Structure 1
């Protein structure tokens, strides 16, 4: 794999490395605070808490490992060239792809969980049991791994991207890129949109029904 190491000056790379590093530290701090609050405040835990923890764990994996390697790739591009077997690049790309997919899938699960909790409580209670939660969390990781395995077995590959100065999947592989975007990104995004819209419409329906009920109970003025 060829790497154009001269696309950015050393001055620009220094600033970019500092920016990515600060964002990584900030993201790590926020995620640790979320975990600490959930650990200390049992009163705010819900059936969706396990998925929030799952989302936080994935984010920590990205901010601690992927962002650190990204900073190295920006500040010291030779870092990836020294890895002649591209092992580090494969690891970085795998974590980046899996982390992105798992985060989106978990966000979709949280949205479904909240919709069912508010609108269809019995269905929520039947699905989101302890066993169900464990299976769903495992499913999000299997879902993410499903987008990494094809790259390991030859359908696409990981490569160093000189524009982002990081390792990612080869976007020139049209078949894999379409699968990644349509199934990995668009599907969970549409799920979030559909269930949030359904939740909003249900809340508005209840609000209107309540208003009509209260108006019917209000005696006419002057009586």
Structure 2
């Protein structure tokens, strides 16, 4: 009886088979990694050096920035390495591949949970202001952050115990959870995506209902010259809703691909692009949204940059103060942040 031999394993290494396209992808990933890391460091730095941004609510913004730094600086870097080194290099180092996948899944789920937490924070601040101080005390906020990180690890624990598994994805060109190993695992991941998205959509819907029902009242207070906190909160809610829309546009292709490609028939180019839309572009967008739409964060970025330059011996030029600007107005502007309160 002739000995039967199994066919040799074929490993993916697109840098060898598609050098031009893969080189462009690697360069693109490295640029996005740089933008994502430094952009989110700017967010954290702005909060750390600007007193007006040091609110309890901005803890959620900082937590989101930490998630995005993990996605941009750690996960993206290893996706670039995965495209450069190929599948076999990572399969020979399974422990490293598992660690990369663990951080990828945890940061992704925690990022989604944090976006939902920010939306709920805005809802309580605008629609239930009487309970806001007690609900968002420093202790409660710290507990919420811990819960979000614990929640973000539950699927990882399942993967490490055989419910799912981690692997080098041949179409995403990097280490991530195996979307083909267990369809139920994929369903739970999708729930981890769509439940936070539903919470965000509901929160902002309730906020805008509140805005339109109280529009005349707010307008009346503004005409009287009163400094309406509600008016500020409405403006901030609009900024954050815009952030959510951008976040949704960046992340939804990945969820759609998971739903409509259970048999893994989509070409590599689709999976490569959608995973980068989720892990690369989204992680570097927030700093631009905050900077362009919120004066306090824009000023915070400048404060942080000048603080860094100051450590190098460069002095910040003294800005002449406009005598027409009241100290009250200045303090109010500085105190306004993306998550006011």
The TM-score with structure 1 as length reference comes to: 0.88
Question: Are residues 127 and 9 of structure 1, via their aligned partners in 2, closer, same or farther at CA, if it must alter by over 3 Å?
Answer: same
- How far apart are 1:36 and its partner, in Å? 1.4
Pairing 1:125–2:154 present = no
Residue matched to 2:35: 26
Pairing 1:3–2:11 present = yes
- Partner Cα distance (2:60, 2:221) in 1: 37
Gaps (5+ residues) in structure 2? 1-8, 223-341
Residue matched to 2:89: 79
Question: Are residues 118 and 73 of structure 1, via their aligned partners in 2, closer, same or farther at CA, if it must alter by over 3 Å?
Answer: same
Q: State whether residues 91 and 168 of structure 2, in contact with CA within 8 Å, keep that contact through their aligned partners in structure 1.
A: no
Q: Per the alignment, in what secondary structure is the counterpart of residue 163 of structure 1?
A: coil
- Partner Cα distance (1:99, 1:60) in 2: 9
Residue matched to 1:62: 71
More contact order relative to length (CA 8 Å, sep ≥ 6): 2
Gaps (5+ residues) in structure 1? 215-223
Pairing 1:148–2:161 present = no
- Partner Cα distance (2:77, 2:135) in 1: 38
Residue matched to 1:38: 47
- Partner Cα distance (1:94, 1:201) in 2: 39
Residue matched to 1:109: 117
- How far apart are 1:211 and its partner, in Å? 6.3
- Partner Cα distance (2:176, 2:10) in 1: 14
Tell me the C-alpha RMSD between the 2 structures: 2.0
Question: Are residues 208 and 74 of structure 1, via their aligned partners in 2, closer, same or farther at CA, if it must alter by over 3 Å?
Answer: same
- Partner Cα distance (2:185, 2:216) in 1: 46
- How far apart are 1:176 and its partner, in Å? 0.6
Question: Are residues 213 and 29 of structure 1, via their aligned partners in 2, closer, same or farther at CA, if it must alter by over 3 Å?
Answer: closer
The TM-score with structure 2 as length reference comes to: 0.59
Q: State whether residues 102 and 156 of structure 2, in contact with CA within 8 Å, keep that contact through their aligned partners in structure 1.
A: yes
Pairing 1:52–2:46 present = no
Q: State whether residues 3 and 160 of structure 1, in contact with CA within 8 Å, keep that contact through their aligned partners in structure 2.
A: no
- How far apart are 1:206 and its partner, in Å? 0.4
Pairing 1:175–2:213 present = no
Question: What CA deviation, in whole Å up to 9, does each residue of 1:36-72 have, x standing for no partner?
Answer: 1111211133332111111111111221211111111
Residue matched to 1:219: none
Within the candidate set 207, 211, 218, 1:199 is matched to 207
- Partner Cα distance (2:220, 2:34) in 1: 51
Residue matched to 2:323: none
Q: Per the alignment, in what secondary structure is the counterpart of residue 190 of structure 1?
A: helix
Question: Are residues 213 and 132 of structure 1, via their aligned partners in 2, closer, same or farther at CA, if it must alter by over 3 Å?
Answer: closer
Question: What CA deviation, in whole Å up to 9, does each residue of 1:99-158 have, x standing for no partner?
Answer: 110000011001101111111112222211111011000001001011210000000101
Q: State whether residues 51 and 137 of structure 1, in contact with CA within 8 Å, keep that contact through their aligned partners in structure 2.
A: yes
